[in-house]
Structure formats: C-alpha cells, structure tokens
Amino acid sequence: MSFTVAILGRPNVGKSTLFNRLAGKRLALVDDTPGVTRDRREAEGRLGDLRFRMIDTAGLEDAAPGDLAARMREQTERALAECDAALLLVDARAGVMPLDRHFANWLRRAHKPVILVANKAEGAGFVGAFEAFDLGLGDPVPISAEHGEGLDALFQALAPLADAAMPAPPPENEEERALKLAIVGRPNVGKSTLVNRLLGEDRMLTGPEPGITRDAIALPWRWKGRRIELVDTAGMRRRPRIEEKLEKLAVADTLRTIRFAEVVVLVVDATQGLERQDLTIARLVADEGRALVLAVNKWDLVRDPKATLADLKEALENSLPQLAGLAAVTISALEGKGLDRLMQGVVAAEAAWNRRIPTPRLNRFLAEVQERNPPPLVAGRRLRLRFATQVNVRPPTFALFASKPGELPESYRRYLTNLLRETFDLPGVPIRMMLRKGPNPYAEDGRRLR
C-alpha cells in the first residue's frame, strides 16, 4: 500500500529534519535559519513496515501576492493538493504561536486528514507539546525528529492511512536505468526556468531574485520514453563571494550532485557571455569526469546572434581545451525554444561518455599516429608507444604503455587526446590517459638477459 503525506508548518519547526529522518538519509538542507526550504522536495519515507511518499515544503507564512514568500506558499498549496494527509508540525519548545493557529484553520478548510505533530518534544519540550491540544486537530504526536524519539507514536498515527490507501502501482522495469542529469550554473541564469519548461509545469520556484534555489531537487521525468532523474541545483558564485552559511551548504549540495550525476548541463546567460565562473564550473565538471553540455540560455535577448556565437566558440576553444568539441546549444528556457536540441545533445554526450573502443582499433590508431607524427627524441633515442587499451568508460579512460612514460611531453599527450576525440567521436567528454611502462621484450622474469 502507498500513500502520500505533506509535511507542513511555519518556518523552523523541523520539517526538513523530520523529512531526512523518515527518508533515512540527508536529502534536505537543515539549518537554524528560518526559511531554508523553498521548493518542495519528494522522497520515499520509511517507518517500520510503512512505505509512503512524502513531500517536504516551505514554511507557511502570510505574504503579499507576487513576492517570493507568496510563490513559496503556492508550492506548499500544490503539495497539499497532491497529498492524502498532512503532517502539521509545531514547535513544542516554543509553544503554539498565532501563525500555527492561522494555518490550522487553513488546513481544516482543505478537508484533508491532518496529523498534528509536536516536534522538539525531548526533555522539557514534552510538557509544551500539550499546548497543541488548543489547535483542535486531535491529540498531538510528541516527537523529536532530531533525536529520533516518538517515532513509534507517529507510526501508529500513519498506519490507518496505509489501510485506506489504494494498492501501489507495479514497479517500473528496473532494467531501464534513469539517466542522472544535473542542471548547474551561476545564480539567475535560468536553471529553474529550464527545469520547469522541461517538466511542463511550474515545479520549481522562479523569479528575478538571485539564489532562489537552495536545495538540489531530484525530479523523475521522461523524455521520448527515456527515464531521466532531473536535478535542479543552487547557483554557484565565486568562492570569495560566498559568505553566508546557507549559501555554503547549498553550494556543497550542488558539488555533491555533480559528483553523482552522469551528464551535467551548464546553463550560461547569453547576454553576459562566458564568464570566469562559468569556466570554473565547467573545469570542475571535467575534473569530476562527468559528461558536459553547454546550454546558452536567454538566446531570444541576443541582438547579434552570429557574433555572439563566434565569441562563445572562441572562448571555449581558448579556455576549455580539455573539453574540445563541447556542444553549445542555444536555448530560451522562458519561451521553450531549443529544448529538443538540448536533450539530443544530452543523449549524445552520454553515449560518448559510455563509448568503448575495441583494443585492435585503438592500436591501429596508435601505429598510424606514430608513423605520421612520431614522439620526440629523448637523450638521442626515440620514445616508443608500444600498446594502448581502454580500461574504463564513464569517462573514457585509456592506458598507454611506453618505453619511457615519464619522458613523454605533455604536448604530445594532448596531441594524442585530441586525435582520440576526433577519430572516435568523443566531443566534449573528459578523457583520462594513464601512462604505463611497457614490458621489456629482452627481459625474462623481470631481468635483462646477458
């Protein structure tokens, strides 16, 4: 049986802490600062033998229409519309606040089952939990999400929902693995707008304010039948400009997302061109060995497309030689233009990232290269590249056996890498090349014959 619960409450009552506790791992950012969560996040919750879908939401606040807090409230209202029941959290240590009463009345009008949860009820907070009776939503469930106390009582409160739930749909074919696709970039370049356009709904908060997204939110999606796990991330500014603790946590979450992604879409602002921070993020993705696609957003605002594209390509060639051939796709996330070409670039980048080259082909290539442009002389003797093989994919990784690997110049190594890209169609993909000392054909058991 499967059911959905939305975790609601005013800011800083511990919603994300409970979300992480029920998920069994750290998914949402947690901090003492109110209002850390802005977008709604979903995950599977587990409590005993109960399995359910849960939605973490932004703190409930009264706000003027149109501002950021109001847009956060709209996301929470959508979560309430999707759920089978709401968990309304109150802070047992602080007691019942006027805002708690206001939103308790709002939940009554929603005609959804409500489970009242008095969080932070460890120690003296247990006494404060009894104030929650005044809300008229039934007996409060005293818990401590941080310390894992009281979860047996929460289990008893959730169990009737499982009995009333519809049977869960059959699981999807597990052989079809979801492509992990991360959307990254500087603040305010249109990452969340792009995610909303791809999904076809206003799933992520957007607006003119930079840095709206804080959590890395993973969203299941399909493109032309292909399963994709789409992850929107917080904007990454230059390190010296990051001062607030929350921004540091958000950027750390983005870095973790890049490490676990397969393909990364770097969104840049076409009206600003490639900035230093864009190049820094691209190098970071390459260092992590992820496949990269460049999405040049806000193309509808560019006045001279031809000159802008030429400048962009020149900047890529000069600043990112390790990602030669990187696909740069012009899009307008706001108008929904160029998104099919972007996804085609993503699929092509993943295919190159997973490409395996047969060893015979690789060694024919190596022989042709040395015949056309042999390695330089070292101490009057020619370096010999004896053998090459691909030892891994994701990214493509090659072992190159040479007579004196330590003497092979870096320039010749780059030359080989660029030829590999060109010959075996590996544009924009990080390539790893490991140099190894080849076996001595005149030695037996590791010793030279005399």
Which of 43-56 are b and which e, b meaning 16 or more Cβ less than 10 Å from the residue's Cβ?
A: bebebeebebbbbb
pLDDT at 356: 94
Is the pLDDT at 253 greater than 90? The verdict is: no
Work out the average pLDDT over 320-336.
91
Q: Among 3-12, 245-254, 306-315, whose mean pLDDT is lowest?
A: 245-254
pLDDT at 57: 83
Work out the average pLDDT over 307-314.
91
Is the pLDDT at 440 greater than 60? The verdict is: no
pLDDT at 201: 82
Work out the average pLDDT over 132-153.
89
pLDDT digits (tens, 9 = 90+) for 415-432: 999 999 999 999 889 999
Coil, helix or strand at residue 429: coil
Percent of the chain with pLDDT over 70: 81
Q: Per-residue confidence at 283, pLDDT binned at 50, 70, 90? A: very high
Same fold, 4-164 and 359-444: no
Q: What are residue 217's DSSP bridge partners? A: 232
Check: CB of residue 29 under 8 Å from CB of residue 21: no
Work out the average pLDDT over 334-347.
95
pLDDT digits (tens, 9 = 90+) for 23-75: 988 776 555 555 555 567 788 999 988 999 998 887 666 555 555 556 667 77
Q: Per-residue confidence at 447, pLDDT binned at 50, 70, 90? A: very low
pLDDT digits (tens, 9 = 90+) for 119-140: 998 876 666 677 888 888 888 9
Domain locations in the chain?
Answer: 4-164, 179-353, 359-444
CB neighbours of residue 8 within 10 Å: 26
CATH 3.50.50.60 describes domain 359-444: no
**Residue range 179-353, CATH number:** 3.40.50.300
CATH superfamily assigned to domain 4-164: P-loop containing nucleotide triphosphate hydrolases (3.40.50.300)
Q: Among 59-63, 114-118, 347-351, 363-367, whose mean pLDDT is lowest?
A: 59-63
pLDDT at 446: 46
pLDDT at 119: 92
pLDDT digits (tens, 9 = 90+) for 373-396: 988 887 777 788 889 999 999 999
Query: Which ranges constitute the DSSP H helices of 57-190?
Result: 68-82, 98-110, 125-128, 151-164
Coil, helix or strand at residue 46: strand
CA angle in degrees (0–180, nearest 5) for 235-24-47: 135
Q: Per-residue confidence at 174, pLDDT binned at 50, 70, 90? A: very low
Report the sign of the C-alpha dihedral through residues 240, 245, 247, 251, in that order: positive
Q: Which of 237-244's residues contact partners 24+ apart within 8 Å by CB, and which partners?
A: 237/186, 237/187, 237/277, 238/276, 238/277, 238/280
Work out the average pLDDT over 248-264.
84
Q: Tell me the two tokens of residue 79.
A: 């979560």
> In whole numbers, what is the pLDDT of the chain averaged over residues?
83
Q: Per-residue confidence at 16, pLDDT binned at 50, 70, 90? A: confident
Which of 135-146 are b and which e, b meaning 16 or more Cβ less than 10 Å from the residue's Cβ?
A: bebeebbbbbbe
